[in-house]
Amino acid sequence: MEQPKVTPQMVKDHGLNDEEYQEIMEILGREPNYTELGIFSVMWSEHCSYKNSIALLKTLPREGKALLTKTGEENAGAVDIGDGLAIVFKIESHNHPSAVEPYQGAATGVGGILRDIFTMGARPIASLNSLRFGSPDNPRVRYLVDGVVRGIGDYGNSFGVPTVAGETYFDEAYTGNPLVNAMAVGIVKTDGMISATIKGAGNPVMIVGSKTGRDGIHGATFASEEISEKSELKRPSVQIGDPFTEKLLLEATLEIIEKDLAVGIQDMGAAGITCSCSEMSARGNSGVTIDIDKVPVREDKMTPYEILLSESQERMLVCVKKGYEEEVYKVFKKWELESVIIGETNDSGIFEVRLNGETVAKIPSEVLVLGGGAPVYHREAKKPSYIDELAHLDLSQFSLKRDWNKDLLTMLGSPNICNKDWVYNQYDSMVRTNTAVGPGSDAAVMRIRKTRKAIALTTDCNGRYCYLNPRLGAQQAVAEAARNVVCSGAKPVAITNCLNFGNPYKPEIYYGFAEAVAGMGEACRVFETPVTGGNVSFYNEDPEHAVFPTPVIGMLGIIDDIKHVTTQWFKDTGDLIFLLGESEDELGGSEYLHAIYGRTTGPVPALNLYYEKAVQETLLSAIRAGIVKSAHDCADGGLAVTLAECCIANRDKMMGAEIYITDDIRTDALLFGETQSRVVVTTSKDDGEKLVDLCITHKIPVAAIGRVVGERLTINDAIDLPLKGIALSYYSSLTKLVETIS
């Protein structure tokens, strides 16, 4: 086949620098041809190679006795939960596609992460998503919100996985570059997992699922650039999702694995056939030769280059056990899916592509992949000057003569605090009937059938904290995720993470990245929640600015006995309300300063990881002792918002509260400050003393701050509001904000 001659300009257009090209020449001992250049460009792109992040990611705690996979070595991380079962979970970004084509970008983000789960043999049981947009005042932002939410909903709903938790944040920092992070969770018998490996000699390699088209070519490379005016032209790089085909692929794949017909399976996500072939063979220390002309295509005259780089969705590569080809065909045929043998394994260690028998690309698999020959860089880091400038705050500039009732209502209706049911009611949160606690509490809880167990799931990150102090912000993200999981009655066991940052070649951006990774590592070590895997997304910048450093934490917790499931809302009149932890004069980084004064400034609240852990352990032992009726972590919006949510979160049974707090701090800090390591807990009248005793034993500050009563929320002399008014602000706000047409 005649291939275009590789020119220096072409190398540049493929996003490879001079050193990288020299490296390629040395590896091959010759110039690469056009097809090979394409292969190197996607495999060595930031998206596939993690070249600017992997050195730091390796510093994260990745060990734990319950971990069944090595971090980053399989499609997703797996955690042993006992009873012969494992939970498989991972979070991934689809920011760039969603920025230009929100519906398909978000939909295929969900599709991709679900495939990562079921290609390991696990059945997806829950989906979560962490979303960040610019201000809803901006019509383009509203378009993005609408498209992303519909995309996530339509894909997950049709596929049949419940979308049970997540977050939706709004801040100007995300205006041109929204963040769409999708997390999926699956369950598998510990002896039923399968690896993403090609190995052995003479095993057939099969492509299954959708035909290959020209969609998504260079999607991985696109994801490794900043968003600009030209990004609109990259719309064809965004793939199109088909959840129906994915549902069929799920059932067929699980059947293949159940019947033990495959050596290994990998999803075709970024970099399509190229990535799955090279990663799978590198993992198995084997080689693979494929005949590209055998790949079913949906368009005429596709070149090997296009077929190799296509990111058409709902496709997988299956390494079949030799001799079982017919049985595999039969399973896929039953599910009306196409499956074609396109190649064979060997022990050469080489990824070879042939067209009509003629070699068009021949590269050792190992040199293409992360952990093998892909480049690894340590970038320059420089502390941005704004961090020190924003680290001090004179609180005396903020008046204490305010209408606190009005402030609370403003806060409850602000985009970041208000109820998000406009978003999550568009998601099927109950299909498969395992959802014990759906969206709207601190964490989602899924029961595990045929056991007494349940799992708690949450995603968390406060981007504003991370902007003001990346290291502390990342610690707080882990701490809050753990706190949410504990409030639901679970013990935190492991995390997955999605690291969303700007261009790593800018030293100020890289500083934020390095600090966040360090902070996350510190926190995960203290909480004993190893990092099972995840995803890095750089280049999240529009022409104006980079996004806030946003290391999203997806956390898994285990509830040993389903009777310990705890929710955030107040339960019964007469229950006693306690605050675990103490409040400080901390307003920096708060939602209050942002919503009321339009200020994003530090210092962010302090955090002592060991103290935080002690608070959480105390709460968990109280829950396990059966004395906690509700628990809600005190986070964005502070104590007043937390209490208001406890009052109205159960819309069928709203409960009022009378609160008296004697803390000697500023009223604004008392009501809206975001001091960490605090939880609002209720007990029955009889159990209050037990909770206090427990806290004393664990040396955790606890204060009885009031009781559940009536139909109003009152806090000292500052707040006195009817629940109806609170509910109106809280529940009606988002629809108004995002459905405005202009």
Partner 1 sequence: MRFGVVTFPGSNCDYDAYSAIKTLGEDVVFLWHQSADLMNSDVIILPGGFSYGDYLRSGAIARFSPIMKSVIKFAHEGGLVIGICNGFQVLVESGLLPGALMRNEHLRFACKYIYIRVEKNDNPFTLDCAVGDVLKIPIAHKDGNYYNFQADIEILKKNQQILFRYCDKDGRITEAGNPNGSIDNIAGVCNESGNVIGMMPHPERAVEDILGSSDGMKLFESVKKFYKQGVKFERA
Q: Which amino acid is at 491?
A: K
Collect all residues with Cβ–Cβ distance below 8 Å to 201 and sequence separation of at least 6: 286, 345, 346, 347
> Can you tell me whether residue 119 is helix, strand or coil?
coil
How many Å apart are CA 463 and CA 461, to the nearest integer? 6
How many Å apart are CA 607 and CA 617, to the nearest integer? 16
Identify whether 545 is a catalytic site residue.
Answer: no
Q: Which residues contribute to the site for partner 1 (CB under 8 A)? A: 150, 153-154, 157-160, 242-245, 247-248, 335-336, 421, 425-433, 435-436, 438, 447, 449, 562, 565, 652
> Can you state the percent helix, strand and coil of the chain, rounding each to 5?
40, 25, 40
Alpha carbon 348 to its chain's center: 37
Shortest distance (Å) from residue 247 CB to partner 1: 6
C-alpha separations of 601 from 266, 350, 392, 605 in Å = 45, 53, 8, 11
- What is the residue-wise DSSP string for 164-206? EEEEEEE-GGGSSS-EEEEEEEEEEEGGG---S---SSS-EEE
Shortest distance (Å) from residue 244 CB to partner 1: 3
Nearer to partner 1, 159 or 351 (CB): 159
Nearer to partner 1, 241 or 264 (CB): 241
Shortest distance (Å) from residue 157 CB to partner 1: 6
Shortest distance (Å) from residue 141 CB to partner 1: 18
Identify whether 96 is a catalytic site residue.
Answer: no
Nearer to partner 1, 188 or 292 (CB): 188
Shortest distance (Å) from residue 445 CB to partner 1: 9
Phi, psi (degrees; rounded to nearest 5) at 439? -60, 145
Nearer to partner 1, 143 or 386 (CB): 143
Nearer to partner 1, 191 or 336 (CB): 336
**Which residue in 94, 218, 564, 594 is the catalytic one?**
94
Tell me which residue has tokens 């009223």.
667
Nearer to partner 1, 150 or 402 (CB): 150
How many Å apart are CA 227 and CA 546, to the nearest integer? 10
Cis omega (within 30 of 0) for bond into 603? yes
| 153-188 b/e (C-beta count within 10 Å ≥ 16 → b) | bbbbbbbebbbbbbbbbbbebbbbbbbbbbbbbbbb
Closest residue by Cα to residue 417 from 169, 186, 657, 97:
169
How many Å apart are CA 220 and CA 46, to the nearest integer? 8
Nearer to partner 1, 425 or 697 (CB): 425
C-alpha separations of 562 from 360, 572, 699 in Å = 57, 21, 28
**Which residue in 14, 47, 218, 594 is the catalytic one?**
47
Shortest distance (Å) from residue 258 CB to partner 1: 15
Residues in the chain: 742
Shortest distance (Å) from residue 429 CB to partner 1: 6
Active site residues: 47, 94
